[in-house]
Structure 1
């Protein structure tokens, strides 16, 4: 009887250990680098109809703070659009922002939603700016970026994850002769690399 009871305890302990390992959380204690394709949707020039959609890439970096959930984050985005409005203007928009990111690892260890608040600057170039005296100066203006996304790992211990989606509300303050305010929807997807902390 005692032998059977001991065997049952051993089996139960083994099962609990296996279950704990199967829900192990990913390694998230180190820096993170992501490379993404990005799509932006912005309002057209003042007094003209329609919107335009720059496309390009973005790179972001995050370094975790003590506690595990918050990180210092930085982001650089560059996008280009052509054939804007009736005069076929073109625009290259570059933003560089930094701030704080909050990340939460779900119990499965594979899904990691995050949110962030970033602020910094934006630079615009191209014929849309060159042909608009109101937008010509200054060349660098304030920009803010608020949003979040979802990372998916194939395995909890994987160092690489798919950034399935990242959605951000980007605001820039370029002079446009009217309200000096641009509202931009930014959608991105790509790959994130997770590094261990030395």
Structure 2
């Protein structure tokens, strides 16, 4: 049985990582997503804080949190958006994803009003177990051509209240309007 506590956890901003470290992270993500992780997905996970775990066999787990803007109910929120969460196949279901999320949640709680992420079916239980709440309202994005509804994201977007006193968005009041980016918006 593998010891789930092995492996050192480290956090670093993208600019602090070497080209070799970034290449190793990208290789983990390519393998973990079975080839369904493209250059735009990679770009979405850069420019923020990375949390990653190395074990004796190399990079075992990764996630990053980047800043996004979300408008809701006439207010713009500074959101820590979780990206590129993956665990090497031989280390899955051993608590590494939770350790990575714990580090990212500290960043979110200290620097943002809310946390947000779009979960895969496989990942949703991890986020629920950590107190993330499924958004039950509409999701939209402000594209270069105007507001675009994103109904496919409405059953996979999770939020986390980060700042003390931050009003949690009301799903019945209005949609979450995310900033635009190329590729998958969420």
TM-score over 0.5 (shorter chain): no
By percentage of residues, which structure has more helix?
2
- Give the alignment's TM-score, normalised by structure 1: 0.29
Give 1 or 2 for the bigger CA radius of gyration: 1
By percentage of residues, which structure has more strand?
1
